[in-house]
Structure 1
Amino acid sequence: MKNQFKLQPVLNYRQTLEDQAKQDLGRCLQKEAELMEEIQVKEQDLGALYRDLEARQQQGVSTDELLLYHHRISSKIEQLAHLADRMDRLRDQIVRKRETLADAARDKKLLEKLKEKKNLQFQQELKRRETAVLDEIAVQFHRRF
């Protein structure tokens, strides 16, 4: 008698799905970290622009320079808004990836529990048969004597 879990290929497939979901989530989290870093750099650039503009205004600044600073500041603010939108979309994607991973893990866990249950049933059946054989041997032994 051989213990075979007939759904092993399905379990293997579910494991593959879970692994893929982990990798997808990892890639998204990596993108989030990179985007956060990019946002921090842009915010630092914007802060530096504001500080530079303040310093230039104290020294005296021409109207053309003032317009250039405001244009650069507006451009940085637009870039930050665009990055914030990208971050929102990425965070939504991360939520979906986490849900996908949770579903894949739950599906795999169900099959693993089923496999354990089948293995336990197999072990119990094996033990029952072993006991029956030992009982038969004991009966045959008693008949001889």
Structure 2
Amino acid sequence: MTPKFKLQPVLDYRQILEDQAKQDLARSLQQEADLLTRLTQEEQDLSELYRDLEEHQRDGIRCEYLLLFQNRISHKVETVARLVEDLERLRRQIDQKRLRLTEAGRDKKLLEKLKEKKRLEFEQESKRRDGIVLDEIAVQFHRR
């Protein structure tokens, strides 16, 4: 029989916190991947716009079409800049979430080590008691 670990509810809670931190980090990493995909697509669109503009300029382009190209390019540049800012903000959040996960894991690990230490102490005490009982039995048997 092993003793009931008095801090088991705290250990269970720490496990829940660690699991939540893992899920939170995973969600943020997925958001980062999605944002990178979107950023890559927007950058490709912007490059394509520049290529189209250059091609039209070589062939000759009317002023109103040039203005339309410039507006579309400006809009894409703003979109890319906004996505880059979002990505930087998200990466800072990811760093914070990694730190929280590390702390949650460390806190849980400390309690697990304490639980193991208490279990070993209990086993040693049980062996010591069993030894005393066996010694007493041996003494009683030897007296007869």
Note whether the superposition's TM-score is higher than 0.5: yes
- Alignment TM-score, normalising by the size of structure 2: 0.98
Q: Which residue of 2 aligns with 1:83?
A: 83
Percent identity reads 62
Q: Which residue of 1 aligns with 2:58?
A: 58
Q: 1-side partners of 2:52 and 2:10: how far apart?
A: 62
Q: Which residue of 2 aligns with 1:105?
A: 105
Q: Point out the more displaced range, 2-11 or 128-137.
A: 2-11
Specify the code of the residue in structure 2 equivalent to 1:120: L
Runs of 4+ in 1 over 3 A off after TM superposition: none
1:6 partner SS: coil
The offset of 1:3, in angstroms, is 1.1
Q: 2-side partners of 1:58 and 1:81: how far apart?
A: 28
Q: Which residue of 1 aligns with 2:117?
A: 117
Q: Which residue of 1 aligns with 2:30?
A: 30
Specify the code of the residue in structure 1 equivalent to 2:7: L
Measured against aligned partners, the alpha-carbon deviations of 1:99-129 in whole angstroms (never above 9, x if no partner) come to 1000000000000000000000000000000
Structure 1 portions without partners, runs of 5+:
none
Structure 2 portions without partners, runs of 5+:
none
The offset of 1:2, in angstroms, is 4.8
Q: Which residue of 2 aligns with 1:95?
A: 95
Aligned length: 144
Q: Which residue of 1 aligns with 2:137?
A: 137
Specify the code of the residue in structure 2 equivalent to 1:117: K
